[in-house]
Amino acid sequence: MGILFGFTPFILFALLASVSMSLALWVAFAASFTLGIRDFARTKTLRILDIGGIVLFGVLALYVGFIQPGLKIQTVRLVVDCGLLLIALGSMILRNPFTLAYARESTPKEIWATPAFLRANYVITAVWTAAFALTCAADAVANFDNAFPYSLDVAVGLAALGLAVVFTARYRAHLRTRSARPAIRE
């Protein structure tokens, strides 16, 4: 699934954040920039997730590096997860679900404008948006309630994102199976 490759900067951030916040933000920024440039060189377009990652991680790396270096990991995670939520919501508001760019890579061009293809991408983007919202909620609770364990915050986020991955894979398989069936005529 190409969409998982698009999340590489966010995954790198999550893996490196406990080692060094600055390192995690700069590596995520570099990964976002590299993915964006690679895709732009190939297709002459930038994906919404790439643009969002470049801006989000670039601004955060500068802010944490130069303005407020002591920011807690939970606070930075909250900002990153809220950034993902805004990217997903914004893409739907702009009528360009962020999953479209990835879905087009594995779908024939003549399908791209069909209502079923567009609807499927809105559904998948909505599920990812819900996962990001749940992750943001857990991050917010962790930031404002010291009794909420960091490990539970991380577990909620991983569970929400894992469910979004599973849903995406199964929904795509369901749609392929359904489109392969011959239509019943009465």
Between CA 28 and CA 89 the distance in angstroms is 21
Residue 141 has pLDDT above 70, yes or no: yes
Q: At residue 1, does pLDDT exceed 70?
A: no
pLDDT > 70? residue 134: yes
pTM score of the predicted model? 0.90
CA 20 vs. chain centroid, Å, equals 22
d(CA 36, CA 25): 16
108, containing H or E segment = none
Please, are residues 123 and 170 in contact by the beta-carbon 8 Å criterion? no
